[in-house]
């Protein structure tokens, strides 16, 4: 999904790997080099079931892009968001 090309008639399910806010983790390979495979697996499963609907799937990686663009999407298109699925990486 391109966050700059939104059809207001569509609904969106967003899969979000949010930006790491803990400075010590910003260089962690797990958080910044690889897409979240769990989210991508869920998206693929849903995509097969929703292919003929007006529900669009979007993956947003805050580790790469920061959260500012995501916040803008939420503020500008709140009625278009059907669901938000969040993933977090935490230190143990």
Residue-wise pLDDT for 14-57, tens only, equals 998 877 665 555 555 555 556 778 888 889 999 989 988 889 99
Residues pairing with 13 in the sheet: 57, 83
The whole-number pLDDT of residue 89 equals 63
**pTM value?**
0.75
- With tokens 């966050």, the residue in question is 3
What average pLDDT is seen over the chain? Answer: 80
Say how many CA atoms lie within 13 Å of 44 toward its Cβ. Answer: 6
Where exactly are the structural domains of the chain? 11-87
The whole-number pLDDT of residue 18 equals 79
């Amino acid at each position: 999904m391109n966050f700059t090309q939104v059809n207001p008639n569509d609904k969106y399910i967003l899969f979000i790997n949010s930006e790491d806010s803990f400075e010590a983790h910003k260089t962690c390979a797990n958080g910044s080099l690889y897409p979240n495979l769990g989210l991508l697996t869920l998206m693929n499963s849903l995509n097969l079931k929703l292919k003929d609907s007006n529900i669009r799937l979007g993956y947003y990686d805050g580790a790469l892009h920061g959260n500012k663009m995501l916040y803008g999407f939420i503020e500008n298109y709140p009625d278009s968001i059907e669901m938000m699925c969040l993933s977090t990486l935490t230190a143990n």
